[in-house]
Amino acid sequence: MNNDFLSEMFGSRGARIALVGVFAMLALFLFAQTITVAGNLGRPEMPATETVTVQGSGQATLPPDVARVSFTVENIAKTVSEAQAATTKQADAALDFVKEQGVAEKDVKTLSYNISPQYSYPNPCPLGAMCPAYGGAPKIIGYQVSETIQVTIRDLATVGALLGGLGEREVQNVSGPAFALDDSTAGYDAARADAIKKAKTQAALLSKQLGIRLGKIVSFSESSGGYPYPMYGYAMGMGGDTFESKASSPNTPAGENTYTASVSITYEIR
C-alpha cells in the first residue's frame, strides 16, 4: 500500500515539479553558504588585538572672507509706541546706510527686539528725618525699545567705512568686526587634512623603525580646537562715547585665522 502511495505521489506531474523546486531552493541555500564561508577565510573572528596608534596635530591659516558687525538702536519715551517709533526711525536710517555700502539683504538680520519698562524708585529717607509715605513701590516712568541687528560684510575693504557711518548715525553698542570664513567648516577641514597627513607620516616611520607591517585602520578619532580672531569693540551706549559727526573711518586690518585639529589613528599590525 505504501509503494502504491509513493508511486502515485511521485507519478503526479505537480508533485514532481514541487519536489524539483524544493531541491533547487536547497541548492541555492548551500551555494550562498559556501560563498559566505569562502569570503571569511583568512579573516580573524575576533577584532585585531595587535595594533599601533599614532597621533597627528595639524593647523591651517586662512584669510577671512567675511566680517560680522552687530549694533543696537535703543530709545526711551513715555509710551511704548513713541519709543518704538523713535527706534524704528533710527534703525531704518542705519539699515539704509548699510545697504548703500553694498550689503545684501540676506546678510542683514535682527538678533533681538526688546521692550522694557523704565522705573523710578523712591529716595531713601535719612535716618531720623520725617519722610512722606512713598509706599516703597517703584513707578513706571517710560519704556525703552531696543533692536539689535547683525550685518555680514563680504567686501572687507568697506568695513571701516561702515563702522564710521554707523557711528555718525549714533547707533549704540557696536560690536565687531568679527573676521571669519563664511564656510566655518573649511578651516577645520584643512586643519584635519594636515593632521591626518602628519599621523600617516608618523605611522610610516614607526613601521620602519619597529620592523612591522601596518594593516587596515581599525579606529579613528578627531578633535578640533577654536581659533583666535580680531575683535574691535565700541562702547556707545546711552551716556557712553559716540563717534563725532563725520568721524574718520576706523582702520580694521583683517589678519588671518588659524584653525587647529588633532587626530588619532589606530592601525592593525600584520
Instruction: Per residue of the chain (270 residues), give pLDDT as tens.
Output: 555 555 555 556 666 666 666 666 766 666 666 665 555 555 555 555 789 999 999 999 999 999 999 999 999 999 999 999 999 999 999 999 999 999 999 999 999 999 999 998 776 666 666 666 555 678 889 999 999 999 999 999 999 999 999 988 888 889 989 999 999 889 899 999 999 999 999 999 999 999 999 999 999 999 876 544 443 333 333 333 443 445 567 787 788 888 999 999 999 998
Contacts of 28 (CB under 8 A, 6+ apart): none
List phi, psi (to 5°) of 112: -160, 155
26 within domain boundaries:
no
139-153/108-120 β-pairing:
antiparallel
Judged on CB neighbours under 10 Å (0-12, 13-18, 19+), 87 is: buried
Is the separation of the CB atoms in 83 and 131 below 8 Å? no
Q: What is the CATH number of the domain that holds 71?
A: 3.30.70.2970
Q: Which of 118, 23, 106, 95 is nearest to 66 (CA)?
A: 106
Task: Give, in order, the Cα–Cα distances in Å from 26 to each of 29, 32, 33, 37, 97.
Answer: 5, 10, 11, 17, 80
Do 147 and 205 reside in the same domain of the chain? no
**Structurally, how many domains does the chain consist of?**
2
Do 176 and 187 reside in the same domain of the chain? no
Q: What is the CATH number of the domain that holds 214?
A: 3.30.110.170
Do 77 and 174 reside in the same domain of the chain? yes
39 within domain boundaries:
no
Do 219 and 144 reside in the same domain of the chain? no
Q: How many other C-beta atoms lie within 10 A of the C-beta of residue 256?
A: 13
State the residue range of the domain holding 85: 66-121+136-180
Do 159 and 173 reside in the same domain of the chain? yes
Is the separation of the CB atoms in 249 and 160 below 8 Å? yes
10 within domain boundaries:
no
CB-based burial, 158-183: b 16+ in 10 Å, e otherwise: bbbbbbebbbebebbbbbbbbbbbee
Helix, strand, or coil (residue 148): strand
**What does pTM read for this prediction?**
0.61
What type of residue sits at position 168?
Answer: E
164 within domain boundaries:
yes
